[in-house]
Structure 1
């Protein structure tokens, strides 16, 4: 199916002068189609910036169309800002989902994902050149637009304050997916005092309600030389204009994104820490920030978590840090006490094993199984083995021995794990015993020297698995 040619519709308005850029708060627009074709490849998910390594686009789950309109309120990705999503309404009242918008040269291309009941041929007919099309953001699309505009305008404000007040340049920024905080990348870290100062200064300007407007300048297609600061113009950007976003008395910055008409009520919150990034040639830091709907979501979530924690701790919200510290301290003391008691118990159990009667010939060969819900059963079994070796060394270092210790949880199921520890005076016998347990019980493990450890999956029964261990030990000769 060939792409339809734009013969019955006015040419598309270039990126830079689109309705979404002229009035970012506009929710609906009536326009006409310029062209429609089946997409050559699916539009990959985008965050407005390409990573160092491009990932292969996922296989399409439904037909995808590329629709160009005379005008649109669906912003195509650019300037670090992700694409909008929205809805196209054809002349018959059918709604079509726009899952992505991209800039091709100077035109905005809408990627329309067809629903199961929608037909490609019908779409090509309904979006033929000159066809009347309704464009809307929809509820979710408008929330996304408002979030992007808030975060993008906040970034301009934050970067301007950092540069003019602290002489710290913004190297890059990222408009992350909501509700995560966005960040600016800086050449150096900031002290807590500097972060507090920048936040206070930015919000002082917000309180003043500085207005935001856009200045448009014709783009010279031959040289693309423009006055004023510039973040760079894409090499494939054709037929468009240069847009400079101006925050009155604060900042002038070339940008194609959507911005709020004012910074009034645009409360800015900086996370009071920076994240260092080390690269092969440079070192930079990230300063995270929140504003608009993301800040409200963050405060709501944080307050809910704090209130819930206060309820659990049976205290007021201001007392939560103190109560949590008490719980942590008590947990440390309890853990230390458990470790001390386990050490004492390990010594007692080791003494019991040392005192067990040897087999004929003088070698001590035995198996001891425990039912234990210890957080780390192997650590406890290792403590027993260490205490045992110390006691044997004190009594008679020439006495040969081979001991198998196993530990299962009290409640067993098919997914339960029984820990197995083999230790002895002869490295070869230890390895031989471990290999036999692997072969006969499917124990997964290994070892080196006088120790071998592994795990058995399933329900451990003395009459079955225990008997197998006994037969393995019985087959060993010393």
Structure 2
């Protein structure tokens, strides 16, 4: 069955009647698994597209009530709303046109890219995804070169400039015409005629989605590149129409901000970033040398004490885990145990503990609990991140008491 949205994709409003309204709930947030109480509404006809063919459902309104989602159940389109509707009542249905037209541009764009990729390189499309910001087409080829991508994009945009019509046909299954149509099979619950979308002279493809009536309405398509795909396949990322304009606008604003930060022109960006990377690399080397020097000084001060404590305890506010490791390495086995900490004096920070293996097994969980931290044992050193550095004094006391009670110091 074809709905009004499929017969007249450019229609923004329509009047129809409520067939049924059934209490139901809807999972509005898949991550949090929250259920929204509402109603499943069936209309005599609808301009709201039920999800299918890789295209998300439309959203819109029924008599001013928000429609959260639409899906197909056999020959019916189910609309989920939170406001109860009255069966038999005539209502006005309105589609979110900006979202609808965006989906039309991306879906027709996918048909065009798919057809050209297959025509030029015999790469069939195995799936596609219409995302919120970009869309992807999965091609049955292990590799796509930059030159091939550019070639496809050039031919695609040439067809758009040619203003080629896009037509919708309704055909009967098992006919000679249907055998010529590109298809990946009908849904299991499909009944009746088959809807075919034709880009004149380029492609005929079985499809339930909403489409533009002419390729000129796509304005332009940009193939942004490739992403990781299944083994033996390649994913092409693309944007079409208004999305491309938004993408260019965002990219321009980002580039403008970057040039301001780098204090250079557009042409000098790469050179400026390379220079910045080199400076950062040099600074990191200098920082590592200074850290090592400071760590060795800390160790030397401890080691030169005539009557030094067998447990070396040290807190440095600016210390990170790298510094604590350097201190521990510099002292080595000259201390029977070490408890090194860094970070905020009361809140988050890092800690490192050394002690005989049997002692660490007992002490690490206790000290981690006192610091509200979590850590791991690595190369004889227990390292962790803490959320409550205020507990470090009590942790030090627990450490020393345990070692003394067990005659380890």
What's the TM-score, normalizing by structure 1?
0.76
Shift of 1:160: 0.6
Aligned counterpart, 2:212: 260
CA distance in 1, matches of 2:367, 2:273: 46
Pairing 1:276-287 to 2, within 5 Å after superposition: 276-278=229-231, 283-287=232-236
Q: How does 1:257-336 map to 2 (within 5 A)?
A: 257-266=209-218, 267-278=220-231, 283-336=232-285
Q: How many residues align?
A: 405
Contact 1:66 1:109 in 2 (8 A): yes
Matched, 1:99 2:99: no
1:37-76 CA-partner distances (Å, limit 9, x unpaired): 314x435569xxxxxxxx899564232132222x221112
Structure 1 partner of 2:145: 191
Structure 2 equivalent of residue 12 of structure 1: none
Counterpart of 1:419 (choices 319, 328, 351) is 351
CA distance in 2, matches of 1:304, 1:367: 53
Q: Tell me, yes or no, if the aligned pair for 1:207 and 1:265 is still in contact at 8 Å.
A: no
Q: Quote how far apart the aligned CAs of 1:450 are.
A: 4.7
Task: Tell me, in whole angstroms, the C-alpha distance in 2 between the residues paired with 1:347 and 1:294.
Answer: 57
**TM-align CA RMSD:** 3.1
Which of 188, 193, 197 is the aligned partner of 1:245?
197
1:31 aligns with 2:16: yes
1:381-396 mapped onto 2 (5 Å cutoff): 381-389=324-332
Q: CA offsets, 1:125-146, max 9 Å, x none? A: xx32xx3221111xxx111110
In structure 2, the partner of 1:108 is 77
| Aligned 1:319-398 pairs, distance under 5 A | 319-358=268-307, 365-374=310-319, 377-389=320-332
Q: 1:464 to 1:292 in 2, by over 3 A?
A: same
5 Å-filtered alignment, 1:144-163, equals: 144-163=99-118
Q: Tell me which structure has the larger Cα radius of gyration.
A: 1
Unaligned 5+ residue runs, structure 2? none
Q: Is the 8 A contact 1:216 1:242 kept in 2?
A: yes
Q: Is the 8 Å Cα contact of residues 190 and 274 (structure 1) preserved in structure 2?
A: no
Shift of 1:192: 0.5
